[in-house]
């Protein structure tokens, strides 16, 4: 079984924040793949379903971002999962808005949710890093991530959420590179017509 985790903060006041894009990713995935209803469990909200032939559990920790690992660790122990069976969706300021990168293992890179994950489950889980852009100065980072997506962000946010949901079965198979490539393909801007450009 694969445990898919979305990082964020609970409550309507946080729902549209950049820091909550992990929650948004799981909610879209659950909708597209018709997972069961969300219910309270493991200090979070969970939904069960399948990605093709793979049984999956979605988990949105309700412990607030900085304690995300507590909820994930509880679910991991209950199902006797290894860190390699866990994939975490979260915001990444060091990626351009709308870019998605996948990697296994590594450090926290200043992300408190990932720091908590490492403390409770170890470092060897899959990270699905969703670019939200950098505000330009480190003093503005907290305000940037704890703020709603802008109207301009909507142009890329919904397509990225749809693309990750579409590609999720590849992630369940362990085909991280194919997942990343599929998301990039689905979200690439339409190519301009070279012939038309030449004529103009």
List, for residues 5-61, the tens digit of each pLDDT value: 999 999 999 999 999 999 999 999 999 999 999 999 999 999 999 998 889 999 999
Q: Is residue 144 flagged as an active site residue? A: no
User: Of 19, 33, 111, 144, which is the active-site residue?
Assistant: 19
CATH number at residue 42: 3.40.50.1470
Q: How confident is the model at residue 191, as a pLDDT?
A: 64
Rounded CA-CA distance 15/53 in Å is: 31
Contacts within 8 Å (CB) and 24+ apart, 152-157: 153/97, 156/97, 156/98, 156/187, 157/21, 157/24, 157/98
Q: How confident is the model at residue 200, as a pLDDT?
A: 42
Which parts of the chain sit beneath pLDDT 50? 192, 197-200
Total number of domains constituting the chain: 1
Evaluate whether 99 touches 75 at the Cβ level (below 8 Å).
no
Residue 11: which domain range? 2-199
């Amino acid at each position: 079984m694969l445990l898919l985790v979305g990082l964020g903060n609970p409550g309507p006041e946080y729902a549209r924040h950049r820091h909550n894009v992990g929650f948004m990713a799981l909610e879209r995935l659950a909708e597209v793949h018709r997972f069961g209803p969300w219910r309270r469990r493991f200090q979070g909200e969970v939904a069960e379903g399948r990605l093709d032939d793979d049984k999956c559990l979605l988990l949105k920790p309700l412990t607030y971002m900085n304690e995300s690992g507590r909820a994930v660790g509880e679910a991991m122990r209950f199902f006797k999962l290894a860190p390699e069976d866990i994939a975490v969706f979260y915001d990444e300021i060091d990626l351009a808005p709308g870019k998605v990168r996948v990697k296994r293992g590594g450090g926290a890179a200043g992300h408190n949710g990932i720091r908590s994950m490492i403390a409770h489950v170890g470092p060897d889980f899959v990270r699905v890093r969703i670019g939200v852009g950098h505000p330009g100065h480190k003093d503005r980072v907290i305000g940037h991530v704890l703020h709603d997506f802008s109207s301009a962000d909507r142009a890329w946010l919904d397509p990225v959420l749809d693309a990750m949901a579409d590609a999720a079965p590849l992630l369940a198979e362990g085909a991280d590179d194919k997942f990343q490539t599929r998301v990039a393909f689905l979200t690439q801007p339409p190519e301009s017509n070279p012939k038309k450009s030449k004529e103009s």
